Structures are given as C-alpha cells and as structure tokens.
Amino acid sequence: MKKTFPVNFRWGCSTSAHQIEGSTVNDWTQWESSIDREKFLRQAGKNPEEFISGMACDSWNRFEQDIACLKEVGVNSYRFSIEWSRVEPERGVFDQTVIERYVHFAQRLKEEGIEPFVTLWHWPVPLWVRDQGRWESPQTVGDFVKFAEVMVTAMHSHVRTWITINEPLVYTSNSYVTGQWPPQQKSLRKAFRVARHLVQAHRHAYTAIKKIDSTLQVGLSKHNIHFSAKQPWGVNQVFARALTYLWNEWFLNRVRRHQDFIGLNYYFHNSVDVKFGKKEKVYSDMGWELYPEGLYRVLKGLKRYGKPVYITEHGLADKDDRHRAWYLQESLRYAHQVLNEGVDLRGYFHWSLLDNFEWADGFFPRFGLFEVDFVTCERKARPSVAVYREIIEQGGPEVLE
Ligand code: IFM
C-alpha cells in the first residue's frame, strides 16, 4: 500500500550558504581560523584544517552542479540561504553583483521547475555586525530588516516563500549558553537578550516583507525536539513538558501572529529520565538517535498553531548511507499520518543535498544525499538518492499494512 501525499506537495532538499558556498568572510570564518580555535582543536587531538569551512562545496561557483544534483533527485523545491556578509560586506553597502548572482540562481531554479525557498539568516554575520555585538545589539535587528528588504525587493518575483531565521534557539544556546560557537559566551542573561532580539527581528522582517508584497509567504525554521518522559508520570513528565514549552513553544508563541507557515527542523528525540540516556537504538554518525516517530510527535505538537507546516530540515549524518533510506521512508510514513490528523503539512526538505561544513564539527559529519570530495568538490550520488527519487515519483513512501 502507498502513503500518497497531495499532488502539490513540496519535495525538496535544504542547504545553507556558509556550509556550502565556500570563500565567505564572516564571523564564523574568522573564528574557525583563530589561534585559540586552532589551539583548542590541537589539544583535542584534531586536525584544525578539517574545521575550517574554506571553499566548502564551492557552491558559489558550482551552482549549476547543485542544480544538476537537484534534478537527479527529482525535487520540485530547494531551500538555500543568502550569505549576509557577501551581500552587505560593509554597513549599508550592498554588493549588486552578489545580489544579481542570487537572483540569477533563483531564476535558474525556476527554469528547471524547482521552487526556491530562501532563508535570510542561517547563522554567520558580517564582520561589522560582529563588531557591533551581533544579536546582543538592538541595532542588529534594524540592520537585519534592511538587509531582508533589499533581498526580498530584488528576488520576490522569483521567490515566493521566505524563511527569515533558521533555528533561533539552536544559535542562541550554542553561542550564548554552552559557548561552543562564536562568540563562545556562557550567559543566560545574554542568551535571553539575543533570543528577544531574534523574536523582534523576525516580527519586523515579517511586516517589512509583507509591505513589499503581501502575497509572499513568510515564516521561520524552528528546530523542535520530541521530549518524551521515560515513564508517563511523575518528575520526568513534568521535565518533558517544561522542556517542550521552553524549546518548542516559547519562540513560536512569540511570533505566532507573524508567520504564514511554520518551518520545522526535526533531528532529536530526548527521552527524559532525569538525565538523557542512550539505549539500544539506531544512531547517526554523530551519535544522534534516529527516531522517526518523533517527527510525528513534533508535527502533532504544531497543530495548536493552525498554520501550514513545511518540514524545512530533516536528515542525518550517515557517511556510508546505511540508515538514510530507512530513516527517510519511515519518517515520511509518520509525516503522512499527521495529514489525516489535522496538521496542514505542505512539504518535506531533506537535510542535506550535499555533504557540507557542519559548523563546530567541521567536515566529518556527512549529511549529503550527495557525497562531496572536499579536494576536488566533485559530487557523487549516494544510493539514497534513488530511494528519495522513487518516493517523489510515487508521491510518497510504500507501507506494509
Ligand atoms: O547543519 C545543520 C543546519 O545548519 C541547521 N540544522 C541542523 C543541521 C544538522 O546539524
């Protein structure tokens, strides 16, 4: 039997600029090659070279190869992001050549029958934004909105769906709570300030984009986790509920009147047992538990917002492609289930099209449907490409019932 998704369902892949474009100059590139970072990595017995984004997949120059990959998968949509530091290398100075290159890319996608979904901010900031205090500074909110206006004005005839911000709380927690990412702060006070500014940035950008063209669809990509209690009673359940509120709902509640759809990024299931534990389950190369049912749970959790939902990211690090096909099929079966249960699911974007630069983890995690040789930048399809392609052609995964 087949689980068939609606005919206008968006089948896609996702990427982000810093992770694939290469040769960017922003706060991340400076941090990646800083002396402190090098020392830290050497002390941990790692080769610092493998943690510098460098030319990444060179997608800035090889975008036609990326389009060829998308065609090979057979998707009808592609989510990519704009690199703010390229567009506005200095405050108020917008590089027209760069803007035109992004417009051209969106045009090319359309010519190939692929709908662009564009993310405006996927984490790195230009150096001048870093110097003014990144998102700790209220000025960054206004600067971001200006940048958003410039890009939407340039691209809106080709790009109808906009994602303002990617995973605001992942950024906030890694950069300001655990201190793993630049600017490596560990301050709840700063984290809260940053999160508040990101809420404001989204709301103001939403309003500004709607003024440019009220028919554009605007949302953000929210990373939600399925927190389950190990036993359905007692302290674990209270913790699971509290974490669900803080991580999954707090931000979305604050922007609920400023979004046309919710973008969901799903990767994690955490079983609350006072401390989080690992069991005999399936794990990705990064040790993340692969739990397809969690996708169903977090999708159901979004029902309360009554908005259309796109799964804007879902995938796994799996160099040898051992689990990808299973994870994809199984997750899509669960995703299909919510359609009949009142969640207006409109699309699925696999993370990622290509192996890419996985932030502080460097190049080791291989998330790509396509394997990338980071010396030659050659792209090579993993077997799962054929599986995803077949799912798309069939309009959904097969199920045994
Ligand atoms: O690579 C990241 C992406 O940038 C944001 N979402 C999660 C992915 C995998 O960690």
- Mean of per-residue pLDDT scores for the chain: 96
pLDDT class of 398 with cuts at 50, 70, 90: confident
Kindly tell me the burial class for residue 257, based on how many C-beta atoms sit within 10 Å of its own C-beta (0-12, 13-18, 19 or more): exposed
CA of 14 from ligand 1 middle (Å) equals: 10
Half-sphere exposure of 155 (CA within 13 A, CB side): 34
Residue 274: pLDDT over 70: no
CA of 358 from ligand 1 middle (Å) equals: 7
Angle at 55 between CA 52 and CA 60, to 5 degrees: 140
Are 301 and 248 a contacting pair, CB within 8 Å? yes
pLDDT class of 337 with cuts at 50, 70, 90: very high
Instruction: Give residues with Cβ within 8 angstroms of 122, minimum separation 6.
Output: 16, 17, 18, 19, 81, 166
CA of 378 from ligand 1 middle (Å) equals: 22
Angle at 243 between CA 231 and CA 221, to 5 degrees: 125
Classify residue 246 by its DSSP letter: I
Closest to 276 measured CA to CA, from 265, 285, 287: 287
Classify residue 247 by its DSSP letter: I
Q: Give the mutation target among 119, 355, 359 for probing the ligand 1 site: most ligand atoms within 8 A of CB.
A: 359
**How many other CB atoms are there within 10 angstroms of residue 151's CB atom?**
23
Residue 201: pLDDT over 80: yes
> Two tokens at 126?
């230009």
Q: Whose CA is nearest to atom 2 of ligand 1?
A: 358
Q: What is the mean pLDDT of residues 74-87?
A: 98
On whether residue 170 sits in a domain, the answer given is yes
Q: Which atom of ligand 1 is nearest to the CA of 359?
A: 1
pLDDT higher at 125 or 399: 125
* Omega of the bond leading into 168 within 30 degrees of 0 (cis): no
Distance CA 283, CA 207 (A): 41
Q: What share of the chain is helix, strand, coil (3-state, %, to 5)?
A: 45, 20, 35
Position 235 scores a pLDDT of: 87
DSSP 137-192: STHHHHHHHHHHHHHHHHHTTT--EEEEEE-HHHHHHHHHTS--STT----HHHHH
Helix (H, G, I), strand (E, B) or coil at 401: coil
Residue 106: pLDDT over 70: yes
pLDDT class of 281 with cuts at 50, 70, 90: confident
Tally of structural domains, the chain: 1
Distance CA 148, CA 383 (A): 38
Classify residue 304 by its DSSP letter: G
Q: What is the CATH number of the domain that holds 235?
A: 3.20.20.80
State which residues form the domain around 287. 10-394
* H or E element, residue 310: strand 309-314
On whether residue 1 sits in a domain, the answer given is no
On whether residue 61 sits in a domain, the answer given is yes
Q: What is the mean pLDDT of residues 221-241?
A: 89
Q: Give the mutation target among 24, 313, 324 for probing the ligand 1 site: most ligand atoms within 8 A of CB.
A: 313
On whether residue 81 sits in a domain, the answer given is yes
Q: Which atom of ligand 1 is nearest to the CA of 267?
A: 7
Position 400 scores a pLDDT of: 53
Residue 279: pLDDT over 80: no
Helix (H, G, I), strand (E, B) or coil at 212: helix
Q: Whose CA is nearest to atom 10 of ligand 1?
A: 358
Q: Residues 82-96: pLDDT tens digits?
A: 999 999 999 999 999
Q: What is the mean pLDDT of residues 217-236?
A: 90
pTM value is 0.97
Helix (H, G, I), strand (E, B) or coil at 106: helix
On whether residue 182 sits in a domain, the answer given is yes
> Which residue type, as a one-letter code, is found at position 357?
F
CA of 212 from ligand 1 middle (Å) equals: 30
Q: Give the mutation target among 15, 16, 288, 366 for probing the ligand 1 site: most ligand atoms within 8 A of CB.
A: 16
> How much of the chain exceeds pLDDT 70, in percent?
97
Are 369 and 327 a contacting pair, CB within 8 Å? no
On whether residue 401 sits in a domain, the answer given is no
Beta strands at 261-273 and 370-372: parallel, antiparallel or unpaired: unpaired
Q: Give the mutation target among 181, 265, 288, 316 for probing the ligand 1 site: most ligand atoms within 8 A of CB.
A: 265
* CA trace torsion 176, 15, 47, 268 (10° rounding): 60
How far apart, in Å, do the first and last CA atoms of the chain sit? 7
List beta partners, residue 233: none
* Omega of the bond leading into 16 within 30 degrees of 0 (cis): no
Classify residue 396 by its DSSP letter: S
Q: What is the mean pLDDT of residues 363-385?
A: 98
Judged by average pLDDT, the poorest of 7-21, 108-122, 275-289 is 275-289
Pocket (CB within 6 angstroms of ligand 1): 16, 19, 167, 265, 313, 351, 358
